Chain A
Amino acid sequence: MRRESQQVMPSDRIDIRHVARLARLALTEEEIATFGPQLGDLMTHVDDLAKLDTRDVAATAQVVPSRNVQRADTVRPETMMSHDAALQNAPERQGPFFRVPRIIAEEG
């Protein structure tokens, strides 16, 4: 069994700008000033968990017994959505497609 890391980083060392980048969230300077300490404060409370003995305890992802569910790969008209229904909320569309800003640069 993998040894659990018991070493919890001090909460004031959370790099809020880095976390915001990972979360794809543009934060204002004001938000950084507010969320940084709040996040640190919460993580300090969460650090208590380190005191709980969880050696040889299995992780719970789902509380009720579940198994992989498969179905026949057939069309189910009752849950099918038309192109128009699927695109009705699109911020921008082009024909039967969602339109997004260019992702791949033009070949030079």
Chain B
Amino acid sequence: MDPIKDSARTIARDVNAGVVSATEVAERLIPHVERIDAQLAAYLQLTPDLMRAHARRVDERVAAGERLPLAGVPVALKDNMCLTGTRTTAGSKILENFVAPYTATAVQRLLDAGALPIGKTNLDEFAMGSSGENSAYGATRNPYDLDRVPGGSSAGSAASVGGFAATLSLGSDTGGSIREPAAFCNVVGFKPTYGRVSRYGLIAFASSLDQIGPFARTVEDAALAYDVIAGKDPLDATSVDREVELTADHLREDLRGVRVGIVKEFGLGKLDAASRGCYEAAYADLERLGAELVEVSLPTADYGLATYYLIAPAECSSNLARFDGVRYGLRVDGADVGEMYERTRAAGFGPEVKRRILIGTYALSSGYYDAYYLKAQKARTRIAEDFARAFERCDAIVSPAASSPPFRFNAKSDPVTMYLMDYYTIPGSLAGLPSLSVPCGAAVPEDGTRPMPMGLQLTSPLFTERALLGVAHAYERATLHAEKLTPPEICNA
């Protein structure tokens, strides 16, 4: 029994069986995470007192005969999710002193299921970024190479699980913010169907795209967390009122009869040689496991980025209008209320957030709405239709999760170059589809010598989470890539 390395499944089983107490798990984790995080900077805040309090409650419930799906499982929470009484910053200076007065539904469900909150994790400011470098509180490092980025925007949620500083974590994904950092940190990152998990208590970025999902070191653990957080929430009108198909006890070991689509437009020629080899091997493994590989076409996929970079900033400019210095967050005084707004927002937002607010404001402004925002919404329809057509011929679509292996800090200073990282994740986001990244080996980046983790993206039709996780599980169990990669040295410290 080692609560640092064990799976969530194992920890919950042992805590439920009384082999170990949740309090023992917490006391083991707290000093360990503190030590590791001095190098990783995955957390913006550790919550040891809260963790101990929850551990005591779990121990009482287990002693009273309850069996909890996540009994004693240490979890990390992206800091754009509210947890009553904790500082919740969204990685922004504008919320530096914001203390959440309520708890996000997804977080509450984890805690009710017996999970222990370790702390709140670092992120690109307001979840806008693909490297974690846009946080106002400094960058999180990749546990597999401290000189490289962990990916973003759920930087700390991916790095904490990949670096054995959490067993499970929650992130949010708008255009790839769970899948891309999962790929970079050697973990499973799962974005469910849009609306499957409540967004209540998630600080909004782009409301028609934002979705909460889990990170874990195995597909089974991700499924376990998903089963707990999924489902209708009366506090989020966009959460879908449809029965949840439970997943964790319904995973499969082979891929016989599964048709896996390879997207013609996503040709691996766009990648560096090492990455290409990695994905070619992964596709061959899927076939070896019994899957039938079929070529499918997403003719509009190449319009994904342009579509996304109109819709997401437009929704962001609208959502972030609430940060005006009136009710919460930073206030910078001005001669009148207008000047107060302008100065508050100028001082509180970082460069990437300002850029996106400007793009969105422009795209929605008078005279440009039809050419930009409306056009993008129509393109979104076509992209979703392309997926629907592709899924007539396959059960899941496979592709790389990110455009490159994990890169060095400050390697992508030009915004558009950074946006290209999400080339593979964005189309599925626009279509609202369930999608995940599962470790698929390692590649040596062109600017390095150490093999870095790579992620395989699998995407399936709306509400087919069980089938999707099943495919990922069969692949993971047959290849065991995550376990093969040399464990990060800091975790053995």
Contacts and interface: CB of A to CB of B under 8 A. Distances in A.
Interface of A: 2, 4-9, 14, 16, 19-20, 22-28, 31, 34-35, 38-39, 41-43, 45-50, 52, 54, 57-64, 66, 69, 71, 79, 81, 85-86, 88-92, 98, 100-103
Interface of B: 97-99, 101-102, 193-195, 208, 234-235, 237-238, 240, 300, 303, 305-307, 309-310, 317, 321, 324-331, 333-334, 336-343, 345-346, 349, 351, 354-355, 357-359, 361-362, 365, 368, 370-372, 374-382, 384, 415-416, 419, 430-432, 462
A103 B376 contact: no
Contacts of A52: 300, 303, 375, 379, 382
A23 B237 contact: no
Contacts of B327: 89-90, 98
B282 to A, nearest CB: 28
A35 B101 contact: no
> Which 8 A/B pairs are nearest by Cβ-Cβ distance?
A63-B432, A91-B331, A89-B328, A59-B377, A54-B378, A26-B342, A26-B346, A23-B361
A54 B382 contact: yes
11 contacts: A4-B371, A4-B375, A16-B358, A19-B361, A28-B346, A35-B354, A38-B355, A45-B309, A52-B375, A63-B380, A100-B326
B240 A64 contact: yes
Given A19-B362, A24-B341, A63-B194, A91 B303 contact: no
Given A19-B358, A19-B361, A90-B327, A59 B381 contact: yes
A48 B306 contact: yes
A61 B415 CA distance: 26
Nearest to A87: B327
B358 A39 contact: yes
A101 B432 contact: no
Contacts of A46: 306, 309-310, 372
Given A26-B342, A89-B98, A63 B431 contact: yes
B334 A101 contact: yes
Contacts of A61: 208, 377
Contacts of B462: 63-64
B101 A62 contact: no
A contact patch SS: loop
B contact patch SS: helix
Contact of B345 (A26, A31, A38): A26
Contacts of A98: 326-327
Given A35-B355, A42-B419, A54-B379, 10 more contacts: A2-B370, A19-B361, A24-B321, A25-B349, A26-B346, A35-B358, A45-B306, A49-B310, A57-B378, A58-B378
A39 to B, nearest CB: 6
A42 B309 contact: yes
Given A24-B342, A27-B346, A57-B382, A42 B375 contact: no
Contacts of B310: 46, 49
B303 A64 contact: no
Contacts of B370: 2, 4-5
Given A48-B303, A58-B378, A61-B208, A86 B101 contact: yes
Nearest to A62: B208
Contact of A59 (B349, B374, B432): B374
A88 B99 contact: yes
A50 B238 CA distance: 30
Contact of A39 (B359, B380, B419): B359
Nearest to A48: B306
A60 B381 contact: yes
A16 B359 CA distance: 10
Contact of B361 (A22, A27, A60): A22
B358 to A, nearest CB: 5
Contacts of B380: 59-60, 63
A29 to B, nearest CB: 13
A48 B328 CA distance: 40
Contacts of A19: 358, 361-362, 365
A23 B319 CA distance: 12
Contacts of A101: 333-334, 336-337, 340
Contacts of A50: 371, 375
Contacts of B355: 35, 38-39
B374 A4 contact: yes
Contacts of B372: 46
A42 B360 CA distance: 12
B419 to A, nearest CB: 8
A100 B334 CA distance: 11
A54 B375 contact: yes
B38 to A, nearest CB: 30
A63 B208 contact: yes
Contacts of B432: 63-64
A19 B379 CA distance: 24
B415 to A, nearest CB: 6
Given A39-B362, A91-B326, A63 B101 contact: no
A64 B194 contact: yes
Contacts of A24: 321, 324, 338, 341-342, 345
Nearest to B372: A46
Contact of B337 (A54, A92, A103): A103
